[in-house]
Chains A and B, each alone.
Chain A
């Protein structure tokens, strides 16, 4: 089955800096890669996703890049703000299959 590795496990940045979280996946058949943000004590919520026919997707301060050849994808957050502090999960999925999550990255943005 699919295996998703996520790095780093924790990331501390200063407000205004950029943050990058990287994930690798094992199954070349995976074609859908969402990113979820989970604030403390709350449910994970989708922030951005990318499909395998696209190399990059951007939504305001967040962007995701996908390298199918290398089987890795990354989340980029620019101009970080304290409210970006949360746990971020990447995931990979094949069509008609289940989502496999990475172990999460705790992002701390200091004012």
Chain B
């Protein structure tokens, strides 16, 4: 079953704690992305990666970190420096190349600070 999988679906974080959100794809996509979704704010880009061992900051990278050690995996760490982390986080992947194709999204992780 091909697709993009995020885990966990729900995550609770205590103040001052780092948490890592998982994103795995078996679509052989080159590019992977992390978006944050808040009510009324749409999809805001946190980080993206177009190739293994390389990634770029998006519009709201402060307080987040990522790694891309494997083509299939792009985990996101929400650090204690992120002051308002409660949100819905979406991971996505796409091909890169001559023929632009759709972005496939994971089912999302809802992070809540407790």
Contacts and interface: CB of A to CB of B under 8 A. Distances in A.
B96 to A, nearest CB: 6
Interface in A74-97: 89, 91, 93, 95-96
A109 B41 CA distance: 22
A3 B25 CA distance: 28
Given A43-B90, A99-B94, A32 B41 contact: no
Interface stretch (B11-19, B62-70, B73-81, B101-109): B101-109
A32 B105 contact: no
Given A43-B107, A98-B48, A104 B102 contact: no
State which size class the interface on B falls in.
20 to 34
B58 to A, nearest CB: 8
A101 B105 contact: no
Contacts of B42: 6, 89, 101-104
A29 interface: no
B48 A34 contact: no
B87 interface: no
Given A42-B107, A43-B105, A32 B100 contact: yes
Contacts, number: 49
Contacts of A100: 45
A34 B94 CA distance: 13
Contacts of B97: 96
Interface of B: 31, 33, 35, 40-43, 45, 48, 50, 58, 90, 92, 94, 96-98, 100, 102-103, 105-108
Interface of A: 6, 9, 31-32, 34, 42-46, 49, 51, 89, 91, 93, 95-96, 98-104
28 contacts: A6-B42, A9-B40, A31-B100, A32-B100, A34-B102, A34-B103, A42-B107, A43-B105, A43-B107, A44-B43, A44-B90, A44-B105, A45-B105, A46-B102, A46-B103, A49-B102, A51-B100, A89-B42, A93-B100, A95-B98, A96-B97, A98-B33, A98-B58, A99-B94, A99-B103, A100-B45, A103-B42, A104-B42
